[in-house]
Amino acid sequence: MRAMNLDIFSLQGKCALVTGASRGLGQGMAVALARAGADVAAADIPALPPDDTCKQITSLGQRAFALAGDLGKSDVPEKLFAEAVEKLGRVDILVNNAGIIRRAPAVDFSDKDWDDVIQINLNAVFKLARAAGRHMIGAGRGGKIISTASLLAFQGGILVPSYAAAKGGVAQLTKALANEWGSKGINVNAVAPGYMATDNTTALRADPGRSKAILDRIPAGRWGTPEDVANVVVFLASSASDYVNGHVLVVDGGWLAR
């Protein structure tokens, strides 16, 4: 049996845009892509500049650019992508990671909370992917588009109707774009994290009863980490995944298997 060629996981010479990159999963993804050899434009809202992420990336010998933009504003996604192209020279990899969550019973869920979540978690994902598709098709080099979905692309969740709807939309959008762009050399996939030890789950992890109930269902017996997801994103961004398209890859320690 021939030895495996690990070069297929290298991102040397590639350029990536990662949204929601100042902390948590997004920071882990951005740094992991740099560790694999990519230059990275790290984007987040103005109130959360990704300076630490960029510092980690440059320490690895890769170029890093901090971008600021509120994806809750309809004109920002395309402007942000254009800025990334300007800074990097091109974008080979788009990681649509930015997202928010609002919790309330459906009967009390406000129009604003619904609209805010759909705008950032779904509308902005489409607009960034559309900009990336135009850029990648125009350049004729193909590329990789990776979005952050969720277990709630498969399950309904509790008290998060807009989040579940948006993540279900991300999963279907991933498949639709893969159907259109697969022949152009563009792979469109998503990663669906399970219960991760990030800011979004601080309240859950601080509740002993809720935390135990969650951990009891996860065969791995632990909360996930940004590194768990970041390693999968590197795979989806690399040549190792060239025949993976339209897939939502679950990273949940076995949660859905229960």
Residues with catalytic roles: 163
Report how far residue 199's alpha carbon sits from residue 215's, in angstroms, rounded to the nearest whole number. Answer: 17
Residue 164 and residue 157 in contact, taking contact as beta carbons nearer than 8 Å: yes
Edge-to-edge strand ranges of the sheet holding 143-148: 64-68, 39-44, 15-19, 93-96, 143-148, 186-193, 248-251
CA distance linking residue 112 with residue 181, whole number of Å: 33
Determine how β-strand 93-96 pairs with β-strand 186-193. Answer: unpaired
Question: Pick from 215, 234, 212: which is nearest to 224 by CA?
Answer: 215
Compute the distance between CA of residue 25 and CA of residue 46 in angstroms, rounded to an integer: 18
Residue 74 DSSP symbol: T
Q: How far apart are CA 37 and CA 14, in angstroms?
A: 7
Cα dihedral across residues 196, 70, 58, 87: positive or negative? positive
The enclosing H or E element of 18 equals: strand 15-19
